[in-house]
């Protein structure tokens, strides 16, 4: 499969390189008026063959087939939506890793001669995945495994040193799945960290910062107000 993908990319590269644009070719072209108002996607300046006309590049949602982005000999008129890429093995739009997006943003800032120091690039784990806590401007917020913001949690950046967003991510994972009777839904504080009191069914206990229940603190949910965690 990997060999096939490499072959496909090679064919595309050769086909694109084979396009010859004779002098004055664009003089005979009639271009449509493509603007952000009439384009349901992204306007690509000079995106047509030989760069004669602006084109509208439609956006393919995450998880959708992206085979139409591979056109032999002519520029593509569609692309995977922002934050995703076309996987040449499955031919589906898949999410880019945090590391890939961070590298892209850093390269963009460098090309624009903008300093990287002070820029709010994505926070990534060592394996390239998304860190649960992200910061931009003066705010920090929580994201899921795909880097999508989890609404309802966050804090000012100067108050976010101890924020992990671990609870917000765990809670979001549970709530994103089909409801299950008796499933434990973590309780989070407004920043996205674990609340000091967690309840499972009719039993409540104190919990540490990672959500681990503290043995010996169990009370009935009716007596939860007696807990001093």
Contact 29, 52 (CB under 8 A): yes
CB atoms within 10 A of CB 227: 15
For residue range 88-114, what is the model confidence (pLDDT) as tens digits? 899 999 989 999 999 988 888 788 776
In this predicted structure, what is the pLDDT of residue 80?
Answer: 93
- Taking the CA atoms of 106, 107, 108 and 113 in sequence, report the sign of the dihedral they define: positive
In this predicted structure, what is the pLDDT of residue 130?
Answer: 95
- Taking the CA atoms of 4, 10, 14 and 15 in sequence, report the sign of the dihedral they define: positive
2, pLDDT greater than 50: no
For residue range 23-74, what is the model confidence (pLDDT) as tens digits? 888 988 889 899 988 998 999 999 898 899 999 999 999 999 998 777 666 7
The whole-chain average pLDDT of the chain stands at 86
pTM of whole model > 0.75? no
Confidence of residue 4 (pLDDT cuts 50, 70, 90): very low
Q: What is the DSSP letter of 219?
A: E
């Amino acid at each position: 499969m990997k060999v096939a993908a490499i072959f496909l990319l090679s064919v595309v590269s050769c086909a694109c390189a084979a396009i010859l644009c004779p002098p004055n070719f664009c003089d005979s072209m009639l271009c449509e008026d493509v603007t952000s108002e009439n384009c349901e996607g992204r306007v690509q300046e000079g995106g047509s063959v030989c760069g004669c006309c602006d084109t509208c590049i439609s956006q393919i949602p995450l998880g959708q087939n992206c085979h139409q982005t591979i056109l032999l000999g002519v520029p593509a008129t569609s692309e995977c939506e922002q934050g995703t890429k076309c996987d040449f093995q499955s031919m589906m739009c898949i999410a880019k890793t945090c590391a890939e997006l961070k590298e892209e943003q850093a390269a963009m800032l460098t090309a624009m001669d903008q300093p990287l120091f002070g820029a709010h690039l994505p926070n990534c784990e060592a394996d390239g995945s998304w860190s649960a806590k992200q910061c931009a401007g003066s705010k920090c917020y929580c994201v899921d495994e795909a880097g999508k913001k989890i609404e309802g949690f966050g804090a000012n950046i100067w108050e976010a040193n101890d924020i992990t967003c671990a609870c917000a991510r765990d809670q979001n994972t549970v709530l994103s799945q089909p409801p299950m009777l008796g499933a434990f839904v973590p309780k989070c504080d407004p920043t996205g960290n674990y609340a000091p009191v967690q309840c499972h069914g009719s039993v409540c206990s104190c919990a540490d910062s990672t959500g681990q229940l503290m043995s010996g603190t169990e009370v009935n949910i009716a007596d939860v107000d007696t807990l001093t965690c």
